Each structure stands twice: as structure tokens, then as C-alpha cells.
Amino acid sequence: MYRICYASFFGVSNHVLIIDENNLSGTIPNEIGHLSQLEVLSLRKNKIVGQIPESLYNNKNLKEILLSQNKLSGTLSSNLEVMISLEKMYIDGNDFTGPIPDALCRIDLMIDCVRNDGIGQACVCCKFCE
């Protein structure tokens, strides 16, 4: 499924990039964080590796980041705090390590806190941890 959408409903415009289940491989390009009008990024169920680019954390308009079921790794940036519009972040089924930033407590978060290969720790705000 591949969709790049610009839609306007009742005067509200949405900028959405959805490339789910396409066997994408490689890393998320740093340039994706420079799409300043992007509100939803969904790259679920692909074969994406590497870290979430730091430029993505600087996008103040992103409302949803959906990166579940990839092979992403590394740590989650503390710059999540500057993502003032972020409401939903699904990063379960990846290989993240390190601490889970407290900034994630304010959003709808889905992360395998215990099973997320490497994290091995529960966060204080995870709703989906066992």
C-alpha cells in the first residue's frame, strides 16, 4: 500500500505519507524530517533498519508516527519533547535499546516495552506493557 495524500475536509488539510507493507528496506532518509507540513508518517510492516532520523524529531507538525514491525534500532531521542503536535507513536516490533523518554507519556504510545528485543524495561507510562 503506497499513498501520499493531500486532503482537505471541512477546511482542515492533512499531509499524509503512508507506505505500509511494501517490503521497503534501508534506512529512513534524513530528508523526511524536512517535510515541514507532514502530519502523519506511516511506514509499518516493512524491513526498515537503522535509527529514527534526528530530523524527524524536529518536525513540530507531525501528529502520528507509525513505524511498527520493522527492524529499527538504537535509542529514542529525548527530542520527542519538542514534538508538540505528536499524539500517537507506534514503534512496537522493532529493536530499540536504552531508556524510554518521559515525553512519550503524553501520547498514545504502542511499544513492546518488555519484548521489544533490547529495551527489556517497562516505562512508567506504557499502557500496553505486560
Please state whether the predicted TM-score (pTM) of the whole model is above 0.85: no
Report in angstroms the alpha-carbon separations of 106 from 4, 27, 102, 125, 127: 28, 27, 8, 8, 11
pLDDT per residue of the chain (130 residues) written in tens, 0 to 9: 444 444 444 444 458 899 999 999 999 999 998 888 999 999 999 999 999 999 999 999 999 999 999 999 998 888 888 888 888 888 888 888 877 777 777 776 666 554 444 444 455 555 544 4
Report in angstroms the alpha-carbon separations of 68 from 10, 11, 80: 30, 31, 17
The answer to whether 43 touches 54, Cβ cutoff 8 Å, is: no
Query: For residue range 46-82, what is the model confidence (pLDDT) as tens digits?
Result: 999 999 999 999 999 999 999 999 999 998 888 888 8
- Name the CATH superfamily for 2-110: Ribonuclease Inhibitor (3.80.10.10)
Pairing of strands 47-50, 88-90: unpaired
Separation of alpha carbons 59 and 86, rounded Å: 9
Domain boundaries, the chain: 2-110
* Residue among 22, 28, 54, 45 nearest 93 (CA): 45
The answer to whether 7 touches 31, Cβ cutoff 8 Å, is: no
Query: What is residue 111's predicted lDDT score, i.e. its pLDDT?
Result: 63
What type of residue is 2?
Y
**H-type alpha helices, the chain:** 54-57
